[in-house]
Amino acid sequence: MPRFSDFTAAHLSAALAALLVSYGSAAVIIYQAALAFGASQNQIVSWFTSLSLMCGILTIVLSIRYKAPVMIAWCTPGAAVLAGVSGIPMQDAVAGFIAAAAAMWMVSATGWFDRLVRMIPASLVAAMLAGILINFGSKVFGAMEHQTVLVLMMLAVYFLSKIRLPRYSILLMLVTGFGYAAWAGLLATDKLVWQNPVLEWVWPGWHVGHIISVSVPLFIASLATQNVPGMAVLRAYGYQTPARPLVESSAAATVFTAPLGAFMINLAAISSAICMGSDVDKNPDKRYLSTVLLGVLYLLIAAAGGMTVALFNVLPPELLAALAGIAIFSTLQANLSGAWQDDTAREAALVTLLASASGMTLFGIGSAFWGLVLGLAVYQLHKRTHSRA
């Protein structure tokens, strides 16, 4: 066990930065995702409480167990996928969370983790996510119609800060939006009241179409954009921590806490690198102390889960839409770029993107699933055609 004297200011600084990056880009998207399923106030609080609680516990336990900076987080791209869903009740959504996590658990336990990633072309995964995120990001400009100055200021700060302070662009944009809303009298401060952390259980439903609509895109988003790159980041910094216990423990935690709102817990990807560099600690064997502190910060956020939601209730809907939409700009850009990287799969990627963005529902199953199915069909057709040529 680490001693108190082992921790340094650099460890704390890295932990705080990782926390800000995680919450700054994801919290409002998670809030929007919960609303998409018609969550009550207590259920939204339960989402934040359970996610922070489980991420904190797993981050601390796994970091100490493997003496590596293991950062466990929620699936931000998955939350963006969920925020774009409509017409699915919370009970069926919970069943979808459980199904996605159970699939992740089995994929890891059976050794199919790497093989499944290779079976689904990365360009189609990127196209599926881009199709969903396009609709989500476009809400920024819908909000501009009603709060023009607010949204223009947020966009300006975001893009200007990307030039010199890219790490803090989301945070600076958030502060700008909040500051203008306060100055313009747009904040509903009467709603800012203390709320205790809540854990509310929701029994899963059994609508097969709804479960597939939620679980398939959520599983793929977590696998391809979180767990796989999360392990790649660990390897890139020289940590040979085994993948199975990390993936399986986070998947198991999701299965058992999904009814409380933990929609998908997995390895953090890009934000985890904040705790792995030489600026955190010259000794690679001690960098895990930063993620131990991060886990403690997660637990403190869990204890204030109600206040996190209360802050969202204070903000005007246009500010929330702009925050969530601008926060996924970089993710959308990366996925659009990734969708066109493979020359042989571009038409399949286009079909996947358009179908995913369409919002269609066939046989009770949503567009993200069908986008991937149709894209894979086109991809296989092109592959066979070219092989015969």
SS3 of 272-298: HHHHCCCCCCCCHHHCHHHHHHHHHHH
The SS3 call for residue 85 is coil
Q: What local confidence, expressed as pLDDT, does residue 21 receive? A: 66
Question: Which two three-digit tokens encode residue 364?
Answer: 């009770």
The candidate with the shortest Cα–Cα distance to 297, out of 18, 4, 28, 98, is 18
Question: Which two three-digit tokens encode residue 173?
Answer: 């944009």
Cα separation, 239 vs 69, whole angstroms: 9
Residue range(s) defining the domain that contains residue 106: 4-387
Cα separation, 115 vs 386, whole angstroms: 24
HSE at residue 365, side-chain half, CA atoms within 13 A, is 15
* Beta carbons within 8 Å of 177's beta carbon, 6+ residues apart: 150, 153, 154, 319, 322, 323
Instruction: List b or e across 132-169, with b for residues whose CB sees 16 or more CB atoms inside 10 angstroms.
Output: bbbbbbebbeebbeebeebbebbbebbeebbeeeeebb
**Residue 131 near residue 231 (C-beta atoms within 8 A):** no
pLDDT < 70 stretches in the chain? 4, 17, 20-21, 24-25, 114, 116-118, 167, 270-271, 363-365, 386-389
Q: What local confidence, expressed as pLDDT, does residue 25 receive? A: 62
Q: What local confidence, expressed as pLDDT, does residue 270 receive? A: 61
Number of domains composing the chain: 1
**Residue 90 near residue 43 (C-beta atoms within 8 A):** yes
Question: Which two three-digit tokens encode residue 209?
Answer: 């179409």
**Residue 222 near residue 251 (C-beta atoms within 8 A):** no
Question: Which two three-digit tokens encode residue 12?
Answer: 């704390």
Q: What local confidence, expressed as pLDDT, does residue 384 receive? A: 81
Q: What local confidence, expressed as pLDDT, does residue 365 receive? A: 65
Question: Which two three-digit tokens encode residue 355?
Answer: 């179908």
- One-letter identity of residue 271: S
Q: What local confidence, expressed as pLDDT, does residue 112 receive? A: 80
Q: Which residues pair with 331 in a beta bridge?
A: none
